[in-house]
Amino acid sequence: MATKDHALQSDIAKMKTETDGSFKRADASFRNTIEKGGHFEPELGKNNLISGHLAPSDPHPTAPDRYHLYVSYACPVTVVSPRMGAQGWPFANVDPFPDTDVDPLYHAEHVKDLYIKADPEYIGRFTVPVLWDKKTHTIVNNESSEIIRIFNTAFNHLIPPEKAALDYYPTNLREQIDELNAWIYPNINNGVYRAGFATSQEAYQKAVVEVFEALDRVERHLAGKDYLVGDKLTEADIRLWVTIIRFDPVYVGHFKCNFRTIRDGYPAIHKWMQKLYWNNSAFQSSTNFEHIKTHYYWSHTQV
């Protein structure tokens, strides 16, 4: 029997853009959640989360050996190598890059092996993060924004009260958080990719202008503030952080988002970023600049 060719799913160098040269990110395919009474029950010692060590995950620790992050240190984790080649994200047994781990469950060589194990007919890209269920041997979710919310509340009854009390999506701030996410994600988080992966001048120009218009808007919003919403750390800060911490080291040069740097062009954003990094150990301990720079500059040969 012929082996199925997964090159278009695993090799980012073969990624296609739209006919106008613009980059359109495909939606995540696995969108289940973990909840009492649901198909995926919150239990101890059952699930894993797989991801790359490119930015911090939600700093809300879950109980050991229940949900296993294959990327950062928010809960038990497995970190993949940043050198994403033709076969996609590799584990340490294939590419022993520093601070990279072997898959502890199946000794898989690449993240794609887990996708195929979950669904042999899967046709999407082999992305991270991945929240893996050890009991049913499948993927629960591979959408980072939803995984953040799963970790925020799903295990509160199983973890120490002081951890359960941490709430990054509080009811009284949800409307404000959702409003910010609605324009920060497409214009900044995904905007840098739309600029970097564009294959026409028109698509690049549109995307890069929108990136900096949104950064200008964030700069005004953060003036005199330590956090985006209210006077506390929320999901909105976590989601913006993952792009801002990578902006100067990677996106300015690699993705040509070079109108201004964060360091020199956005004092309020820069101060906000510094305070998160130095005042909250979850941000500093789960940020590995060697992984960040290696992934983008080593893996994206087409840029």
Q: Give the chain's radius of gyration (CA, Å).
A: 19
DSSP secondary structure string for all residues of 39-82: SS---SS-EEEEEETTS---S----TTTS-EESSSSSSBEEEPS
- 84 CB contacts (<8 Å, ≥6 apart)? 12, 52, 90, 295, 298, 299
Tokens of 200: 């026409």
| Catalytic positions, written as ranges | 75
Helix (H) or strand (E) holding 212, with range, is helix 201-222
Diameter over CA atoms, the chain: 64
Helix (H) or strand (E) holding 138, with range, is strand 138-141
Q: How many CA atoms lie within 13 A of 163 on its CB side?
A: 19
- Least Cα distance to 120 among 2, 4, 1 occurs for 4
Residue 133, classed as helix, strand or coil, is strand
Judge whether 52 and 70 are in contact, CB under 8 Å: no
Tokens of 229: 């919403």
Distance (Å, whole) CA 9 – CA 123: 7
Distance (Å, whole) CA 60 – CA 73: 10
Distance of CA 19 to the CA centre of its chain: 27
Distance (Å, whole) CA 225 – CA 133: 39
